[in-house]
Amino acid sequence: MAGSTHASDDAPRLTPEQRAEVDTLRAECTSTRRATVAALEEILYEPLPVLDHGLVRVIDYMGDDAAVVQAARVSYGRGTRRQRDDQGLINYLMRNWHTSPFEMCEIKLHVKLPIFVARQWIRHRTANVNEYSARYSILDNEFYIPDAANIAVQSSTNRQGRGETLGAQQARRVQAILREDAERAYANYDALLNEGPDGAPRDPSYDGVARELARMNLSLNFYTQWYWKTDLHNLMHFVRLRADAHAQYEIRVYADILSDVMARWVPMTHRAFVNYRQGGAQLSQQSLEAVRRMLAGEKLTAKAAGMSPGEWRELQALLAGGAQQIGGGVPEPEGDA
């Protein structure tokens, strides 16, 4: 059912045409001299379920860990280096924020996601994107309804975050409102189109409006789809920001899937990424000086350290293992989507 809050992983997330395409592609076997990654080949084309109707599919990729190493050494082939040496070089590149060697690898994904998630995602602009056109085609009646566990009040400390989870009764009311709004919006969309499966008017007494106009009233929880191609460096940037605990849940679950894909594709790079970027920390000069003073035995307060209450709170959380970076959560790239 459209908008179901507990769709199973075997729910029909692909259209019959898409499923047939997947089966055809996976049945093919091609020979190549290019690098391939067995772990990624296992899931190539297959839908990885996200949220109630969403998915991520790996469509194509170029390069592997060896491509990163090759670019860094400006040499040919894999050479005679041992894997341990390759991991050490990748660690060095990651630790020192080198970027161009990681840009040598690319990946192309098919993503099905709610429109409001897409509007956050598209802020990561260093990518090639082709989205489903609602000017040309008719959108499916599929919309996202959050699980009760993910319905919460506005955070009192973070203007773009959630606070305490609502009680079960209130959460059900929110779900009912969201579902009712989406169902009404789609019914009106369908009426405005006045178009049957064969393209003929459902009601011959009036003309339907253009698809580009009929779509305007649809709510942001309806699903869209796109093909998204990016390089490994920018994929890591996406995952670092969007898999962070401060990121909105609905995009974080997509970032978690992409992190798993990256672990299959470039395991050495992923290990370095988790160690130095995702699990590491970035300190301001002021925060670093405060840490040095505390290590020297000085009892510091926010005022004594010359830090704002927010900065001090973030530093304490970081030292306690509760944050990944100093700076008040995850900034939106060039915007506030």
Catalytic residue list: 242
Amino acid, res. 7: A
How crowded is the C-beta side of 116, counted as CA atoms within 13 Å?
13
Burial class (CB in 10 A: 0-12, 13-18, 19+), 93: buried
d(CA 215, CA 82): 56
- Record the tokens describing residue 251, joined without a space: 């995009």
Q: Which of 64, 70, 10, 59 is nearest to 37 (CA)?
A: 64
**For residues 49 and 56, what is the distance between their CA atoms, to the nearest angstrom?**
7
Structure tokens at 37: 């990654």
Contact 53, 142 (CB under 8 A): yes
The token pair that represents 59 in the structure block: 């469509």
Single out the residue of 75, 224, 62 nearest to residue 142, CA to CA. 224
CB 71 within 8 A of CB 101: yes
Q: Which two tokens stand for residue 145?
A: 């309804």
